[in-house]
Amino acid sequence: MEQIGRYQIVGELGRGAMGVVFRALDPSIGREVAIKTIRLAEFSDAEQRVKQRERLFREARSAGILSHPSIITIYDMAEQEDTAYIAMEFVAGCSLEQLLASRAPLPPERIFNILRETAAGLDYAHHKGIIHRDIKPANIILSESGAAKIADFGIAKISAADQLTQTGLIVGTPNYMAPEQVQGKAVGGPADQYSLTVLAYEMLTGDKPFVAEQLTTLVYQIVCELPPPAQRLNPTLGAQIETVLQKGLSKQPEQRYETCSAFVDALEAACAATPGWKSLARGASLNLPTMGEMPAAPAPKVEPPATAEVTAPTVRTLRLPRVRLEQVNKKSRAVPILMTLVVLAATGAAVYYASQPIGPVASVPEPKKQEPAEAVGQAASRPAEPVETPSASSGEAAAPVASAPVTASTRIQTSVEVPVRSEPPGATVTLDDLPGTACVTPCVLKASMGDHTIALNLQGYRTTIRPIKVKDGAVDLPILTLAPATGILMLQSQPEGATITVDDRKWPKQTPTQISLAPGSYRITVEKGDLKATQNVEIRDGDFKHLSISLSQQ
């Protein structure tokens, strides 16, 4: 059996940027542990490698003093063949990242249980002088009982402390990092609180505050731009929730809450005071109408005249009225008789002024029995009677035209070509969820200027939703890589060390192990000696299932 130090490796739990995480057994006391390896050999510079090793050991020893129910305990630290490793508490369960990837909205009690327990662990560590620096969904482990535990204390500080390489670039994706951290400044507890707020924002809205293709753009957004209002992504969130999130995401550390627990308390109180709020699943906000697509507020009413009666001016000072279409009440319908009166009045005025010198564009003399100006606008709004705009000689600009409802045809009338490519190709692409815009990659969509959303669907792959901004000229999108639809099966057997057959295919590893499977039904068979057992399992996209099989004599 493979070993690292004195620990016997029984399976692989996952892989990260710095190494592999194994499930192992400490034979001296029979305790299961998780072994996280850090490849010091990845650092080509010998001096840098020595510094990394020293810092890693120092931080691991510091984190080893932490003893809290919400923090995964570190047991041991050693080095073997240019690979440092840390033995820590093993937690059977899944990470918050895996839970969010299931694309199911989290119930309020689950959200606040995760936030409350994470905040308690962070506040405890901060009181001990330890800053995590890498709070993100992958580092929050959820046990089978639902308890939240923070992972990677002692490792996170190392990997985060050297985020700046010799070329000055940040390693990894700093979506959850505080502004002071991405700038390389000294960080304290408020940096972890910022990261915790990003977690809360994501669990409530289904998206992170800042997302960008380029790392430099992302860093600029974190440092310089205000986070998008959470209500824009999830309209059920009220102003009080918005206020708490914005405070937790303040650019200046001193403007955030005093502790992580204070932030969670404020958020929970704000949610309790907001009836009807609900969380969104990851990615669900992209399917909601954007602010530009939300129902428009009622148009401002045309101000009535200052007096009840409108006195017509004398003939010599009359001016033709310019009908401003944006003031038209679209919901009203003009009475045919009234429209006739208006047309006759305009015709009479035109005949009279035909013999007069052409000056500034005049308005129609009103009949003795003056109708309200609003009615004139209503009559002019009928599509059967188009209104002529003032002539160019008037020196006045044409009145703006009220916008029509956006449809698939109107979007394409003034359009820009948007080439869409996917890997693999053959995905069906739609623009703004309009069936008439569909094409199959590689293909070209036509989109009007402004913000849009494209969706790519391909059998066996997860739906990919991508917001795009169309400006002047062609839009050059990168190739969009589709993620295969998959679920995770954590397979255990009693006794352990059994061979695995998935349907009719032998699995290369023995139990316990983690198996990635496409959605579908599977027949899982485990065998050890003359012991054997078979069980069926259904896997859905985003699943993280645990299956324990007891072997028996066949």
Model pLDDT, residue 157: 54
One-letter amino acid identity for 116?
Answer: R
Take residue 117 and report the two structure tokens written for it.
């327990």
Write out the catalytic residue numbers.
134
- The verdict on residue 434 lying in a domain is yes
- The verdict on residue 298 lying in a domain is no
- In this predicted model, which residue has the larger pLDDT, 62 or 534? 534
CATH code at position 221: 1.10.510.10
User: Distance (Å, rounded) from C-alpha 80 to C-alpha 57?
Assistant: 13
State yes or no: pLDDT of 357 exceeds 90.
no
- The verdict on residue 402 lying in a domain is no
Distances 173 to 134, 226, 522 between C-alpha atoms, Å: 11, 19, 35
Structural contact between residues 112 and 268, judged by C-beta atoms closer than 8 angstroms: yes
Model pLDDT, residue 452: 86
User: Distance (Å, rounded) from C-alpha 381 to C-alpha 334?
Assistant: 8
- The verdict on residue 308 lying in a domain is no
- In this predicted model, which residue has the larger pLDDT, 188 or 329? 188
State yes or no: pLDDT of 361 exceeds 70.
no
* Domain end point (choices 66, 89, 112): 89
Residues 273 and 167 in one domain: yes
- The verdict on residue 188 lying in a domain is yes
Residues 31 and 149 in one domain: no
* Domain end point (choices 464, 481, 498): 481
Q: Is 341 exposed, middle or buried (CB count within 10 Å of its CB: 0-12, 13-18, 19+)? A: middle
- b/e 192-218 (16+ beta carbons within 10 angstroms → b): bbbbbbbbbbbbbbbbbbbeeeeeeeb
Residues 51 and 136 in one domain: no
Average pLDDT over residues 435-447: 90
Cβ neighbours of 18 (radius 10 Å) = 19
- The verdict on residue 42 lying in a domain is yes
Model pLDDT, residue 197: 98
Q: What is the band of 451 on the pLDDT scale with cuts at 50, 70, 90?
A: confident
132-146, 157-171, 439-453 — which is least confidently predicted?
157-171
Model pLDDT, residue 399: 42
Q: What is the band of 346 on the pLDDT scale with cuts at 50, 70, 90?
A: low
One-letter amino acid identity for 27?
Answer: P
Model pLDDT, residue 288: 53
Average pLDDT over residues 404-429: 71
User: Distance (Å, rounded) from C-alpha 291 to C-alpha 293?
Assistant: 5
Q: Name which of 346, 484, 376, 471 is nearest 422 in CA terms.
A: 484
Question: What one-character DSSP code corresponds to residue 485?
Answer: P
Residues 122 and 255 in one domain: yes
Residues 82 and 107 in one domain: no
Model pLDDT, residue 388: 42
- pTM for this predicted structure: 0.52
Model pLDDT, residue 401: 40
**pLDDT tens, residue by residue, 232-291:** 999 999 899 999 999 999 999 999 999 999 999 999 999 999 999 999 999 876 555 443
State yes or no: pLDDT of 307 exceeds 80.
no
* Adjacency order of strands within the sheet including 7-15: 3-4, 7-15, 20-26, 31-39, 83-89, 74-80
- The verdict on residue 190 lying in a domain is yes
Q: Name which of 541, 464, 475, 446 is nearest 287 in CA terms.
A: 464
State yes or no: pLDDT of 160 exceeds 60.
no
Residues 108 and 188 in one domain: yes
CATH code at position 520: 2.60.40.1120
CATH code at position 28: 3.30.200.20
* Adjacency order of strands within the sheet including 552-553: 505-507, 499-502, 520-528, 531-539, 552-553
* Domain end point (choices 452, 481, 510): 481
Model pLDDT, residue 377: 41
Residue whose pair of structure tokens reads 């810092």 in the numeric block: 55
Structural contact between residues 98 and 108, judged by C-beta atoms closer than 8 angstroms: no
Model pLDDT, residue 302: 38
Model pLDDT, residue 314: 39
Helical (H) or strand (E) element with 62: helix 46-63
Residues 182 and 108 in one domain: yes
Average pLDDT over residues 219-224: 89
Structural contact between residues 19 and 42, judged by C-beta atoms closer than 8 angstroms: no
The total domain count for the chain is: 4
Share the mean pLDDT of the chain. 76
User: Distance (Å, rounded) from C-alpha 200 to C-alpha 218?
Assistant: 19
Residue whose pair of structure tokens reads 């199911």 in the numeric block: 104
User: Distance (Å, rounded) from C-alpha 21 to C-alpha 5?
Assistant: 14
Residues 44 and 163 in one domain: no
Average pLDDT over residues 508-518: 85
Max avg pLDDT among 149-153, 274-278, 487-491: 274-278
State yes or no: pLDDT of 107 exceeds 90.
yes
Max avg pLDDT among 57-66, 372-381, 403-412, 522-531: 522-531
- The verdict on residue 113 lying in a domain is yes
Q: Domain range spanning residue 19?
A: 3-89
**pLDDT tens, residue by residue, 43-53:** 667 777 777 77
Residues 441 and 516 in one domain: no
CATH code at position 416: 2.60.40
Residues 273 and 175 in one domain: yes
User: Distance (Å, rounded) from C-alpha 53 to C-alpha 42?
Assistant: 12
User: Distance (Å, rounded) from C-alpha 510 to C-alpha 534?
Assistant: 15
Model pLDDT, residue 202: 96
Model pLDDT, residue 502: 94
Model pLDDT, residue 410: 41
Structural contact between residues 218 and 181, judged by C-beta atoms closer than 8 angstroms: no
Model pLDDT, residue 303: 42
Q: Name which of 187, 66, 69, 78 is nearest 134 in CA terms.
A: 187
Residues 524 and 538 in one domain: yes
Q: What is the band of 354 on the pLDDT scale with cuts at 50, 70, 90?
A: very low
One-letter amino acid identity for 84?
Answer: A
Residues 82 and 119 in one domain: no
Question: What one-character DSSP code corresponds to residue 362?
Answer: P
Q: Name which of 165, 157, 175, 166 is nearest 219 in CA terms.
A: 175
Cβ neighbours of 535 (radius 10 Å) = 14
Max avg pLDDT among 75-84, 240-249, 299-308, 334-343: 240-249
Max avg pLDDT among 161-165, 170-174, 254-258, 324-328: 254-258
Q: What angle do CA 498, 95, 5 make, to 5 degrees?
A: 55
User: Distance (Å, rounded) from C-alpha 19 to C-alpha 36?
Assistant: 7
Take residue 224 and report the two structure tokens written for it.
């310089």
Cis peptide before 442, with omega less than 30 degrees from 0?
yes
